[in-house]
Amino acid sequence: MRPAPSSASAALRSWTRHAFPNTSQTSAVATARLAPQTTSLTSQRRDQSTAAAATSGSSFDSPFTKYDTNKIPSFAKYKAKSPEVSNRVFQYFMVGSMGLLTAAGAKATVQDFLVNMSASADVLAQAKVEVDLASIPEGKNVIIKWRGKPVFIRHRTESEIKDAEGVNISILRDPQKDEDRVKKPEWLIMLGVCTHLGCVPIGESGDFGGWFCPCHGSHYDVSGRIRKGPAPLNLEIPEYDFPSDESLVIG
């Protein structure tokens, strides 16, 4: 292939220069052409947003504008249709009924509590014991059981009564007159429990003709008063009464 003449080379370079312009120059030209369009579009969008905001703000209705907050509202529709006296009577009736029911419930609760806390039937049966005195001859002892404890019943003779009344109480460990220990001179009723350690003394024995406790040697006279030994007190006198001349109730 033959080389092109110099004139042809110059023409080709000139054509190439016109056919492929400079890239940097092209970009600058394009940017210059698009800038006004971009600025216009941004302005249009800003105007639309402002218009939309203004439109929405003007159409908002506050829920408080239709009420006057300085005016007391009317509660007429909440008033009862019946007269005030009828309502008060009904209220009093309900309060009284509730009070009555509460009182009844409290009474039942207290009754159940007291029944559970009270003594059982077998304990109540032992609370009092009745004894026929006609069956006890003069000069004899009878031992009965009362509330789980032995009770000595002594039908004393005239000589025993005189001996008991003639004792100088100033010499006794637990000073007590005979007349203060009996309601009827011929009948001596006392608990058969030694005041030392709770033993049961033996009747018609001892140094004083009354009762003797063999456990530790306590001697009691015919009035049940301690006369000798470690026992500190006289034999205890229970609560008793004579409903008739021939009957005795202990308790």
pLDDT tens-digit map of 130-144:
888 988 899 888 998
pLDDT at 21 over 60: no
Mean pLDDT on 11-26: 52
Burial of 93 (0-12, 13-18, 19+ CB in 10 A): exposed
Q: What is the strand order of the sheet 187-191 is part of?
A: 141-146, 149-155, 187-191
Task: Quick: pLDDT tens for 49-64.
Answer: 665 555 554 556 666 6
Neighbouring-strand partners of residue 213:
218
The larger pLDDT score, comparing residue 78 to residue 45, is at: 78
- Return mean pLDDT, the chain: 79
**Range with the lowest mean pLDDT among 34-38, 137-141, 217-221?**
34-38
Encoded amino acid at 120, one letter: S
**Cβ burial 109-141 (10 Å sphere, 16+ → b, else e):** eeeeeeeeeeeeeeeeeeeebebebeebeeeeb
Q: Tell me: the pLDDT tens digits for 177-201?
A: 999 999 999 999 999 999 998 889 9
Q: What is the pLDDT of residue 195?
A: 92
- In this prediction, residue 68 carries a pLDDT of 67
Q: Is the pLDDT of residue 82 over 60?
A: yes
How confident is the model over 102-158, as pLDDT tens digits? 999 999 999 888 878 776 666 666 678 888 898 889 988 899 888 888 999 999 999
Give the global pTM.
Answer: 0.51
Among 58-67, 75-84, 224-233, the range scoring the smallest mean pLDDT is 58-67
Would you name the residues annotated as active-site residues? 216
The Cα-based distances of 32 to 20, 36, 99, 200, 207 in angstroms read 20, 8, 96, 136, 150
The partner residues of 149 in beta bridges, in order of sequence, read 146
Token pair 């203060």 is found at 180
In the chain, what are the helix, strand and coil shares in percent, each to the nearest 5? 45, 15, 40
Instruction: Count other C-beta atoms under 10 Å from residue 208's C-beta.
Output: 19
pLDDT-based confidence at residue 174 (cuts at 50, 70, 90) = very high
Give percent of the chain with pLDDT exceeding 70: 69
DSSP assignment letter at 182: -
Question: What pLDDT was estimated at residue 226?
Answer: 93
pLDDT at 71 exceeding the cut of 90: no
More confident: 142 or 66: 142
The CATH superfamily assigned to 127-250 is Rieske [2Fe-2S] iron-sulphur domain (2.102.10.10)
